């Protein structure tokens, strides 16, 4: 089950600034992220034998070009790369790409894999993006006819969680406060101004209990990471980051089929990942948790066993996840701070986990971070993925 542990390492990362850059082509996002990851890793680009792009939302044509090996040609790797294929699971593409890369390397089918994401949902035509994110993942038969839309999904999770646990709107707002504090330290983040709980709660309601300050903002961006064998990593300049454990659950397509919105399989996924990695919740130094809406880090903290049921809101509200807190959380600012680049939101969080363990996070670097947990969610928060990463192999 854990045959990859000790055999696979992440050796390089790249990322472009997140925001609205209408003059910056999506291909440029991808190429700059790839180039930075290659330089960062210290490899020769001709070593890359697999390129794994994930999906792009803003343009079907560009997405198809990525599937049809455009990056192989643009990077000058024709005749060298053996495979170019897409691994796409929405927001959970980060965990899924890494898991796929680990399998290929462990099976001896690849030696150097470049994983990349690029999108322009921030500067794409506004109405097209509204239509896309209002309807994707919403069943045509049962939910679309009644006006259900993406933002309402987060609202359902939140209202049910508040009902069952007694969590307060102020505690939900404190998640955004935490994210913005980290984003303020991140030069690649789109939303770098810190917010107060009062500012957040006084903003216009979008979908109860969430205001306009509690929703992610669509952005352009790109990120990449390189996965190779642990043996090859020994000769490269960066501290290697080792994937130690994975755990996953798919909970629904139609949100009405999720039998427990306030747990969503996080505990089961976490236990799988902990067992595979040989660590537990007390070993975690950094929690790089997928957000999207402020409810999800709270549910995830409890599923990971970091907080007891119903206590995550108070944990964040008390400042434990802020810079300097007990458990630094989503240290790039997440989609509530760095910006939502479609599938790239999750990829950016994974890249941040790697960056922290490599010791390359600048002013937001967490001291002596050795174990990180990264989580991701796709679609209408349809699945729960937990990845344990380590600077060392337990």
Cα 339 from Cα 146, distance rounded (Å): 29
How many C-beta atoms lie closer than 10 Å to residue 155's C-beta? 18
Per-residue confidence in pLDDT tens, the chain, 394 aa = 568 999 999 999 999 999 999 999 999 999 999 999 999 999 999 999 999 999 999 999 999 999 999 999 999 999 999 999 999 999 999 999 999 999 999 999 999 999 999 999 999 998 998 888 888 888 988 888 888 888 789 999 999 999 999 999 999 999 999 999 999 999 999 999 999 999 999 999 999 999 999 998 899 999 999 999 999 999 999 999 999 999 999 999 999 899 999 999 999 999 999 999 999 999 999 999 999 999 999 999 999 999 999 999 999 999 999 999 999 999 999 999 999 999 999 999 999 999 999 999 999 999 999 999 999 999 999 999 999 999 988 6
The residues facing 371 across adjacent strands are 390
C-alpha to C-alpha distances, 278 to 79, 225, 261, 272, 388, nearest whole angstrom: 40, 24, 28, 10, 10
CA-based end-to-end distance of the chain: 16
- Give the largest CA-CA distance in the chain: 59
Please give the backbone phi and psi of residue 124, each rounded to the nearest 5 degrees, phi first.
-70, 165
**pLDDT tens digits for 122-145?**
999 989 988 888 888 889 888 888
CA atoms of 279 and 244, how far apart (whole Å): 9
Per the rule left: phi > 0, alpha: psi between -120 and 50, beta: everything else, 264 is left
pTM over 0.85: yes
Q: Residue ranges per domain, the chain?
A: 8-124+220-233
3-state per-residue secondary structure call for 312-350: HHHHHHCCCCCCCCCCCECCCCHHHHCCECCCHHHHHHH
Residue-by-residue DSSP string for 216-241: --B-EEEEEEEEEEHHHHTTSSSPPB
Q: What is the CATH number of domain 8-124+220-233?
A: 3.40.47.10
């Amino acid at each position: 089950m854990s045959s990859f542990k000790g055999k696979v390492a992440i050796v390089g990362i790249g990322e472009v600034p997140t925001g609205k850059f209408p003059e910056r082509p999506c291909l440029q996002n991808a190429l700059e992220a790839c180039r930075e990851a290659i330089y960062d890793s210290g490899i020769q680009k001709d070593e890359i034998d697999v390129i794994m792009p994930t999906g792009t939302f803003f343009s079907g044509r560009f997405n198809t070009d990525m599937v049809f090996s455009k990056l192989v040609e643009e990077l000058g790797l024709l005749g060298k790369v053996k495979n170019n294929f897409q691994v796409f699971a929405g927001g959970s593409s980060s965990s899924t790409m890494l898991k796929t890369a680990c399998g290929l390397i462990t099976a001896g089918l690849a030696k150097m894999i470049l994983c990349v994401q690029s999108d322009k949902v921030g500067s794409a035509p506004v109405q097209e993006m509204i239509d896309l994110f209002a309807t994707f993942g919403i069943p045509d038969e049962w939910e679309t006819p009644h006006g259900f839309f993406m933002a309402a999904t987060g609202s359902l999770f939140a209202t049910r969680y508040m009902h069952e646990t007694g969590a307060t709107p102020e505690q939900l707002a404190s998640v955004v406060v935490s994210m913005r504090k980290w984003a303020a330290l991140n030069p690649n983040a789109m939303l770098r101004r810190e917010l107060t709980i009062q500012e957040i709660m006084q903003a216009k309601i979008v979908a109860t209990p969430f205001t306009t300050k509690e929703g992610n903002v669509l952005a352009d961006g790109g990120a990449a990471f390189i996965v190779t064998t642990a043996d090859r990593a020994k000769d490269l300049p960066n501290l290697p980051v080792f994937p130690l454990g994975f755990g996953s659950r798919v909970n629904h397509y139609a949100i009405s089929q999720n039998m427990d919105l306030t747990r969503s399989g996080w505990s089961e996924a976490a236990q799988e990942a902990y067992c595979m990695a040989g660590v537990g919740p007390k070993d975690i130094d950094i929690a790089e948790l997928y957000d999207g809406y402020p409810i999800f880090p709270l549910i995830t903290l409890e599923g990971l066993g970091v907080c007891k049921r119903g206590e995550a809101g108070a944990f964040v509200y008390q400042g434990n996840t802020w810079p300097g807190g007990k458990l630094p959380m989503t240290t790039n600012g997440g989609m509530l701070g760095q910006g939502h680049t479609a599938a790239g939101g999750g990829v950016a969080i994974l890249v941040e986990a790697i960056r922290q363990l490599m010791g390359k996070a600048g002013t937001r670097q967490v001291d002596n971070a050795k174990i990180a947990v990264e989580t991701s969610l796709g679609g209408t928060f349809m699945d729960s993925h937990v990845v344990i990463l380590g600077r060392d192999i337990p």
